[in-house]
Amino acid sequence: MAAGKEIRGKIKSVENTKKITKAMEMVAASKMRKAQERMRAARPYSEKIRNIAAHLSQANPEYTHPFMQVNDAKVAGLIVVTTDKGLCGGMNTNVLRAVTNKLRDMQTAGVSAEAVAIGNKGLGFLNRVGAKVVSQAIGLGDTPHLDKLIGPIKVLLDAYAEGKINAVYLCYTKFINTMKQESIVEQLLPLSSESIQTEGKAASAHGWDYIYEPDAQSVIDDLLVRYVESLIYQAVAENMASEQSARMVAMKAATDNAGTVINDLKLVYNKTRQAAITKELSEIVAGAAAV
């Protein structure tokens, strides 16, 4: 019964794996609800400030912020948002594939890239492909904290304000529903980018003008800082909600697959055991007949 003992060992091993994946599925389901609530709570503010930024890009303010200016630098910035941990299906793979396509397009256009990595998986990927990582934010936990994000992001924002890079792109996974997440690569800066053109089309139907109090510079400076912060925070919140949803689905699939493997192994074990019993009975009968 050496073969039977080996199969029993495999069954026990798969059963232990099944317990782990089931526990991870339940933990992910619990975290997913909180992450989705946090993400949905932040969406109205993010959408509203995006609308205001779109209107502002169509207006003719007396003060032009550096984020609204276009320069001719041959360097672009990428903010890559991924997870710190794996076991969440193809979520990171999809967004990193989109980043790869963007890097290839930039290389074709003769533009080099500087990247900020938010999440350990994205950091590892950027290091492997040889991209220049100027700053990073890893170990964010299950809750996005803006104070941990602003420092790394400010490196790219300052470089753009100084004219060292010509655009800043934000790459993350947008939460659609529990079963579906979408990889997004949108242009964050300059303000006249495609990232706000959907709202900008509505704005272009009529002119937008504002009365600034106390002055245009103070208002626009604060507004655009809030615009960038809210979009970064929302991207990380969307990514975290997507992560827990993808992990729950992946762990459920792993648990179901483990159950299928266990059933198959039990069937093989029973057949092996029956064959061994039949062989022993045949030997006993043969020995009795010989006597």
Give the C-alpha separation, 230 to 65, whole Å: 18
User: How much of the chain, in percent, has pLDDT values that exceed 90?
Assistant: 49
**CA distances for 135 relative to 24, 88, 146, 153, angstroms:** 31, 25, 15, 8
Kindly state the average pLDDT of the residues 254-278.
90
Q: Which pLDDT does position 289 carry in this prediction?
A: 74
Q: Which pLDDT does position 144 carry in this prediction?
A: 84
User: Two tokens at 127?
Assistant: 């290091």
Q: Which pLDDT does position 276 carry in this prediction?
A: 81
- The pTM of this model reads 0.84
Q: Could you read off the pLDDT of 130-147 as tens digits, one per residue?
A: 989 999 999 888 888 888
Give the C-alpha separation, 38 to 145, whole Å: 12
User: How much of the chain, in percent, has pLDDT values that exceed 70?
Assistant: 91
Q: Could you read off the pLDDT of 3-34 as tens digits, one per residue?
A: 778 888 999 999 999 999 999 999 999 999 99
Q: Which pLDDT does position 12 carry in this prediction?
A: 93
Give the C-alpha separation, 135 to 137, whole Å: 7
User: Two tokens at 139?
Assistant: 């170990």
Fill in the DSSP letter of residue 89.
T
Kindly state the average pLDDT of the residues 111-122.
93
Give the long-range contacts of residues 71-74, CB within 8 A, separation 24 or more. Answer: 71/163, 71/166, 72/166, 73/163, 73/164, 73/165, 73/166, 74/110, 74/111, 74/112, 74/166
- C-alpha dihedral sign at 188, 189, 191, 197: negative
